Amino acid sequence: MSEPRDELAAAPDFIGSDDGEDFSAFAVSRWPGLVRLAFGLTGDRWLAEDIAQTALARAYVAWRRVSGADDPDAYLRRILVNASNRRFRRRRVAEQPGDPPEVAVEGPADLVGERAALLAALRQLPPRQRAVIVLRYWGDLTDAQIAAALGCSPGTVRSQISRALATLRASPVFAGGDEP
Amino acid sequence: MTAAEDMELRWRLDDLLAAVQPPVVPLEQIMRRGNGIRLRRAGAAAVGVGLAGIIAVTTLALHAGRSAAAPATALSGPAVPGGVIASGTADRHAWRLAVQDIADPGYRCLPAITLNGTDANPVYPDPGYASTVTLGAVVSGTGFAFIQLPASISGITINGRRYVPAVIAAACGYRYHVAGFAYSLAQALRVTVANPPPGWAVVFPIVQPSPQTDGLWINTYAVRGEAASGLLASGYLSGQEWSIQVEFGTGGDCYAFNGNGYQMGSCVPVSTPDGPETIAALPLGFPDPGTGAVGYAVPVSPGTAQLAAILSNGSSELATPRVVDGRKYVAFIVPDPLRLSRLTWLDAAGRVMASTTALPQYGYVQFQP
């Protein structure tokens, strides 16, 4: 009799190919970060999970290409940002004239207000500016990496960051910001 | 930005996004969506465009991507009567898992495992796969599952206490060796197999459903099952092309609502000829203000000849079903600012079979005609 295996590896051998197992491990490890990044881009928890799923589904379809890429994470980020942008365009039409409440903030009461304020400030930004802020200040990516994710030049990234920071600096979120 | 502002922004973003606690990665759903993307790409190459009109139904031939038929399994012994795998009572509701044909009369037999005669999972006999489903508020606190087993495994044990024997159930010439059961959602589900044969695990892998998937079967890994796709409707709205496609399979009835190159997708429970019909609605994405629309897709009962859509301005449109893999669907769009007020099912003689005003603008509802 064979040794018991753990639950993740418990599929009968004839079901899973090596590719499938590689993808599963990749998806499991990247999922939390993808959902958080998507939440930063959209401010909507449900949408974030859906976009993260979409990105991984697209990576699944192109798994050979993704897994063979020099930087599979860069590939995945690009897919996710594209998916987010497409959703934004759809939502802009579907939700006119006004967006529904999309703040989904969790945590201790004293932090909830601050988080909601930051989300509100991020929502003031156009999608591309929101993306550069999240990718730079949460993802710690370089201009070149952000440019690759957004499909633009590093110069555009720098100008977008500059504009986004100007907007954020004027918001009451930051200690140094002007009070309304 | 000063260094202090830089630090503060980093800290606040870290704090905000760390507060997001994602659920367990929905691997099966992701792979199902991936397979749907593959199907759409294949379908897009084969399917043309259709007719114009506010509500239009195509007359184009359907593109069906049927998977290869599964080989018959070598199981000996009699099959259980009526295909019933398991039954019981949960939350004061009777439940029944069974194998049955879910194709409309007159079409090729289409086997599926169903819960209460509906919510079908069109799997083929394929030992090694588990499937789970929840029904939300209808039967709260209870999940339902079946596990297909090889002939050498006679049963499973649930949470170390309850032994569930496997039975042989048959439909459409297929024989399933399967154990079915209901379980409490209040605790983690652990399914074990005593004395597993080589290559099998003691602990059986189970993917748990979530509230977002009520009514949808969640399969562990990409189980083999019936798969087909078809264009249900298409046309032009304000000069922009739209279409509604279905991908039917073990992931449910998955609709793609396309508008001007943008796509919304949704999977809903698979209904059976005698079960409630699942009315799905999603907005189509059109980029210009004032050109939005909501797309509707409904698998209809076998006797349905037409579906009448009554709109909020009092006008009505008739939509004719299309058959995909032995199942009838109707699809149409309702352009903004109109809303769908009523759906009426009509038979071949034009008689009203059923009617409902409980209609979604987004998501799905189930209606028993």
Contact state of A56 with B30 under an 8 Å Cβ cutoff: yes
Sheet with strand B352-356: strands edge to edge: B316-319, B306-311, B340-346, B352-356
A67: Cβ contacts below 8 Å, ≥ 6 apart: A19, A22, A23, A26
Sheet with strand B277-284: strands edge to edge: B322-324, B327-335, B293-299, B277-284, B363-367
In CATH, the number for domain A16-104 is 1.10.1740
B115 falls in which pLDDT band (50, 70, 90)? very high
**Between B4, B13, B283, which is nearest A94 by CB?**
B283
Report percent pLDDT > 70 for chain A: 69
B293 token code pair? 């629309």
For residue B368, pLDDT over 70 is answered with: yes
In contact, B189 and B158? CB cutoff 8 Å: yes
ipTM over 0.85: no
Q: Best of B1, B13, B20, B32 to disrupt the A interface by mutation (most A CBs within 10 Å)?
A: B20
Contact state of A8 with B198 under an 8 Å Cβ cutoff: no
Per-residue pLDDT of chain A (180 residues; tens, 9 = 90+): 332 222 222 222 222 345 566 888 888 889 999 999 998 998 877 778 888 988 998 888 888 888 888 888 888 999 898 888 776 544 433 333 233 333 344 444 455 667 778 888 888 888 889 999 999 999 989 999 999 888 889 899 999 999 898 888 887 776 554 443
For residue B17, pLDDT over 60 is answered with: yes
**Between A2, A61, A133, which is nearest B37 by CB?**
A61
Residue-range domain boundaries for chain A: 16-104, 106-180
**Structure-model confidence comparison of residues A180 and B17, the more confident one:** B17
Residue-range domain boundaries for chain B: 27-66+227-367, 81-219
For residue B42, pLDDT over 50 is answered with: no
Contact state of A40 with B291 under an 8 Å Cβ cutoff: no
Q: Does domain A106-180 have CATH number 1.20.1600.10?
A: no
Q: Best of B9, B35, B193 to disrupt the A interface by mutation (most A CBs within 10 Å)?
A: B9
Q: Report the chain A residue with the minimal C-alpha distance to residue B30.
A: A57
Query: B26-30, B171-175, B297-301: which range is least confident on average?
Result: B26-30
For chain B, say whether A147 makes contact (Cβ under 8 Å): no
**Between B27, B129, B292, which is nearest A93 by CB?**
B292
pLDDT tens for B219-278 read 876 678 888 889 999 998 888 888 999 988 888 888 888 877 667 777 889 989 888 889
**CA-based nearest distance A93→chain B, Å:** 6
**Window A:44-103, CB contacts with B under 8 Å:** 45, 48-49, 52-54, 56-58, 60-61, 86, 89-90, 93-94, 96
